[in-house]
Amino acid sequence: MKLTLIILGFVFTIFSFLPFIKSPLWWIRVLDFPRLHVAIILTAVLIAYISMYGFGETSEKVMLLTWVIAILNEVRYIFRFTPVAKVEALRSEQKNPANAFTIMISNVRMVNKKHQQFKKLVLRENPDMLIMNEPNEAWHESVRKEFDALFPYSIKKPLENTYGMLFWSKLKLHNSEIRFLVEEEIPSFYTVVELPTGKKFDLFTVHPQPPRLMRNTETREAELLIVAKQAKATKYPSIVAGDLNDVAWSSTTKLFKKISNMLDPRVGRGFYNTYNALIPFFRYPLDHVFYNPEFRLLSLRRLDKFGSDHFPIAISLNYEPITEEEQEPPKADLEEKEEAQELIQEGIEKGEELNQEKKENGELRQ
């Protein structure tokens, strides 16, 4: 038993420190996700070891101290997403917000057949805008009639590769584009949304590739940081939403926030884990909404599951630029801007390589 605890402590300590390596290798970046889980398991191992074997000799004390440092390392990443931390995105204080709207984001899971259950959820929530990640043509056909009637504006790109995207809106849209920023079969959307008062904002929706077996994260990093720069450069305040396939506390997401100068409403409020809805213990916040300080938060809710491996999430915001200075988004320094540009270049090169491989293998539709 003692040897088992030592091995477990060693392994989970490695899991804690390995993400310090700035590398897009999938087996490193995937360890950004389970910070809370590693902290819990390593704490349990530490308590079990001390209760059964005490502190032991000097070498054992050094080992136990290393485990404690590893636990604290994990906690420092996730602490900001607990209710005891200071909130980053402030709530609106307006009693009757004139520029309020709700966005619902949902990865529907392409193979999920519970289309009717999802439609009922959307009709019940009745959001102003709806972002669907992973829909294929079957999903589109199953919801098109009801959603086209409910939402007069839309952008649509259903695909059979799990990276399709559908966007519906009750609010008027301008200059809508379907963009392929890094990989030729992974779309993102851009549009200018007009509120009933005539005020406008930019909306970017994204769904880059996740780290997985034999697939590194160069293209994910590049897509997110390209969008961050685009959102920063537009003349309107911006919102970025979707399944980012990254956790809120990762170095990539933190760099994204600094480059875009955006706020995360989860900070100081909770994890709002959206994945995996099918496995209660292994859940992470993968579906996100980030926005500029011209917006104030009205509500943030994780919605009921409907058969997908993601929970939907709904956020209500109010556009009130008069209070913009009261919120302080993170900002990038020169070194971080250079790092972002390097990651973008690496990701674009990797995307070109992947696109060429797919063309040669006949996997890329022309």
One domain for residues 67 and 128: no
Average pLDDT for residues 182-200, to the nearest whole number?
97
Residue-wise burial string across 97-119, b where 16 or more C-beta atoms lie within 10 A, e elsewhere: bebbbbbbbbbbbbebeebeebb
In a domain, 107, yes or no: yes
Question: How far is residue 285 from each of residues 49, 225, 248, 252, 355, measured CA to CA in Å?
Answer: 31, 19, 7, 14, 29
What's the pLDDT score for residue 185?
94
Long-range contacts of 140-145 (CB under 8 A, 24+ apart): 140/164, 140/166, 142/115, 142/116, 143/115, 143/118, 143/119
What's the pLDDT score for residue 361?
75
Helix, strand, coil percentages for the chain (3-state, nearest 5): 40, 20, 35
In a domain, 29, yes or no: yes
CA–CA separation, 33 vs 234, rounded Å?
A: 31
Q: Residue 302 CB: number of other CB atoms within 10 A?
A: 17
Among 49, 81, 113, identify where a domain stops: 81
In a domain, 52, yes or no: yes
One domain for residues 115 and 59: no
Comparison of pLDDT for 359 and 114, the residue scoring more: 114
One domain for residues 121 and 6: no
In which domain, by residue range, is 65 found? 2-81
| Inter-residue contact 41 to 228 (CB < 8 Å) | no
User: Positive or negative, the Cα torsion across 319, 323, 329, 332?
Assistant: positive
Question: How far is residue 113 from each of residues 70, 139, 144, 187, 308, measured CA to CA in Å?
Answer: 42, 8, 15, 23, 9
What's the pLDDT score for residue 364?
59
What's the pLDDT score for residue 272?
97
One domain for residues 236 and 279: yes
How many Cα neighbours within 13 Å face the side chain of 76? Answer: 9
Question: How far is residue 9 from each of residues 37, 48, 331, 360, measured CA to CA in Å?
Answer: 13, 11, 37, 46
In a domain, 222, yes or no: yes
In a domain, 229, yes or no: yes
One domain for residues 299 and 183: yes
Among 47, 81, 115, identify where a domain stops: 81
One domain for residues 106 and 244: yes
| Whether residue 349 has pLDDT greater than 70 | yes
| Whether residue 279 has pLDDT greater than 80 | yes
- Pairing state between β 129-133 and 100-107: parallel
Mean pLDDT, the chain, integer: 95
One domain for residues 185 and 104: yes
Virtual torsion, Cα 9, 10, 13, 17, nearest 10 deg = 180
One domain for residues 181 and 152: yes
Average pLDDT for residues 266-295, to the nearest whole number?
96
Domain count, the chain: 2
One domain for residues 190 and 259: yes
In a domain, 292, yes or no: yes
One domain for residues 150 and 292: yes
| Inter-residue contact 191 to 174 (CB < 8 Å) | yes
CB-neighbour burial class of residue 232 (10 A; exposed 0-12, middle 13-18, buried 19+) = middle
Average pLDDT for residues 70-80, to the nearest whole number?
97
Angle between helices 2-17 and 35-53 (to 10 degrees): 150
| Whether residue 366 has pLDDT greater than 80 | no
What's the pLDDT score for residue 290?
98
What's the pLDDT score for residue 359?
83
Q: Tens digits of per-residue pLDDT, 23-72? A: 999 999 999 999 999 999 999 999 999 999 998 889 999 999 999 999 99
What's the pLDDT score for residue 365?
56
Q: Which two tokens stand for residue 110?
A: 């392409």
CA–CA separation, 232 vs 293, rounded Å?
A: 12
Q: How far separated are the first and last CA of the chain, in Å rounded?
A: 58
**Residue 275 pairs with which residues in a beta bridge?**
284, 310
Average pLDDT for residues 135-159, to the nearest whole number?
97
CA–CA separation, 180 vs 355, rounded Å?
A: 11
Q: pTM of the full predicted structure?
A: 0.94
In a domain, 212, yes or no: yes
Q: Residue 41 CB: number of other CB atoms within 10 A?
A: 18
| Whether residue 238 has pLDDT greater than 50 | yes
One domain for residues 76 and 170: no
One domain for residues 311 and 179: yes
Virtual torsion, Cα 102, 236, 341, 105, nearest 10 deg = 10
In a domain, 242, yes or no: yes
The amino acid present at 265, given as its one-letter code, is P
- Pairing state between β 165-169 and 313-319: unpaired
Among 92, 86, 84, 127, residue whose Cα is nearest residue 301: 127
Among 262, 287, 261, 292, residue whose Cα is nearest residue 273: 287
- Report the CATH number at residue 135: 3.60.10.10
| Whether residue 110 has pLDDT greater than 70 | yes
Helix (H, G, I), strand (E, B) or coil at 43: helix
| Whether residue 209 has pLDDT greater than 80 | yes
Query: What percent of the chain clears pLDDT 90, i.e. is strictly above it?
Result: 92
Average pLDDT for residues 148-160, to the nearest whole number?
97
Average pLDDT for residues 220-241, to the nearest whole number?
97
265: left (phi over 0), alpha (psi -120 to 50) or beta: alpha
